[in-house]
Structure 1
Amino acid sequence: MTVDNLLTIYVPLLGWTLVGWVCGRLLPPTVPALLGKFLFWVGVPISIFAFLRHAQLTAALWLAPVVAWAAILLGAGLAWWLGQRSQHYARFCDRPFSHQTQGSFLLASMLGNTGYIGYPVALALVGPQYFAWTLFYDLLGSTLGSYGLGVAIAAHFGSKTTDATQPSSKKHWRPWQAVATIIKNPALWSFGLGLAYRDAPMPPLLENSLRGVAWFVVALSLVLMGMRLSQLSSFKHVKPALLSVGIKMLLVPLLLGMVLWALGLSGLVYRTIVLQMAMPPAFATLVLAEAYELDQELTVTALVVGCLGLVLLLPFWLWLCSGNP
Structure 2
Amino acid sequence: MINIIIIFTSLVLGLVLQNIREFPITKAYKLLNKIVVTICLPAIVLYYIPKLKWSNELLYPIGGAWIGFVVAFALFYFLGKKWGWSNKLIGCLVLTAGLGNTSFIGYPVISALYGEQGLKMAILFDQPGTVVVLSTLGIFIATYFSKDNLKPIQMLIRMFKFPPFVFFIVACFLNVFSIELVDWFQDILKGFGSIMAPLALTSVGLQLRFESKSQHWRFLGFGLLYKLILTPLFIYVLYVLILNQRSEMIKVVLMESAMASNITASILATSYGLKPRLASMMVGYGIPLSFITLVFWYFVAQFI
- Work out whether 1:255 is the aligned partner of 2:234: yes
The answer on whether the counterparts of 1:134 and 1:272 sit within 8 Å (CA) in structure 2 is: yes
Matches of 1:322 and 1:141, distance apart in 2: 24
Q: Kindly provide the amino acid, as one letter, of the partner of residue 72 in structure 2.
A: G
Give me the whole-angstrom Cα distance separating, in 2, the residues matched to 1:269 and 1:133: 6
Change (3 A) 1:148 1:223: closer
- Structure 1: gaps spanning 5 or more residues: 1-10, 88-96, 162-167, 198-209
1:268 is matched with which residue? 248
Alignment CA distance shift 1:302-1:285 (3 Å): same
Confirm or deny: 8 A CA contact 2:45 2:131 kept in the other structure: no
Q: In structure 2, list runs of 5 or more residues that go unmatched.
A: 181-186
Q: 1:186 to 1:152 in 2, by over 3 A?
A: closer
TM-score for both structures, normalised by structure 2: 0.71
| Deviations 1:33-60, CA, capped at 9 Å, x for gaps | 79969865778988x69xx9xxx99742
Residue number in structure 2 paired with 1:86: 83
1:294 aligned onto 2:282: no
Count of matched residue positions in the alignment of Structure 1 and Structure 2: 274
CA distance in 1, matches of 2:303, 2:134: 32
Matching residue within 130, 155, 163 for 1:173: 155
Q: Which residue of 2 aligns with 1:184?
A: 167
Q: Identity over the aligned pairs, expressed in percent? A: 19
CA change 1:278–1:140 in 2 (3 A) is: same
| Cα distance change on mapping 1:13 and 1:291 into 2, 3 Å | closer
1:44 and 1:155 mapped to 2: Cα distance?
A: 19
Matched, 1:242 2:218: no
**Could you say if the C-alpha distance between residues 196 and 79 of structure 1 is closer, same or farther in structure 2, counting changes exceeding 3 Å?**
same
Shift of 1:295: 1.7
Aligned residues of 1:112 and 1:282 also touching (Cα < 8 A) = yes
Which one-letter code corresponds to 1:152 in the other structure?
F
Match of 2:296 in 1: 316
Q: 1:77 is matched by which residue type in structure 2?
A: A
Alignment equivalent of 1:15, drawn from 2, 5, 8:
5
Q: Give 1:120 deviation, angstroms.
A: 2.2
Question: Which amino acid is the alignment partner of residue 296 of structure 1?
Answer: P
For the pair shown, the structure with the greater C-alpha radius of gyration is 1
Question: 1:277 Cα shift?
Answer: 1.0
Instruction: Give the drift of 1:83.
Output: 1.5
Distance 1:123 1:220, change over 3 A: farther
CA offset at residue 32 of structure 1?
A: 6.6
Q: 1:120, 1:218 within 8 Å by CA — same for their partners in 2?
A: no
* CA distance in 2: counterparts of 1:173 and 1:149, whole angstroms: 12
Q: Give the C-alpha shift of residue 15 in structure 1.
A: 2.9
> 2: distance between equivalents of 1:148 and 1:267?
29
1:64 corresponds in structure 2 to 61
Give 2:90's aligned residue.
102
Deviation at 1:313, TM superposition (A): 0.6
8 Å contact 2:97–2:224 — kept in the other structure? yes
Query: When the two structures are superposed, what TM-score results if normalisation uses the length of structure 1?
Result: 0.67
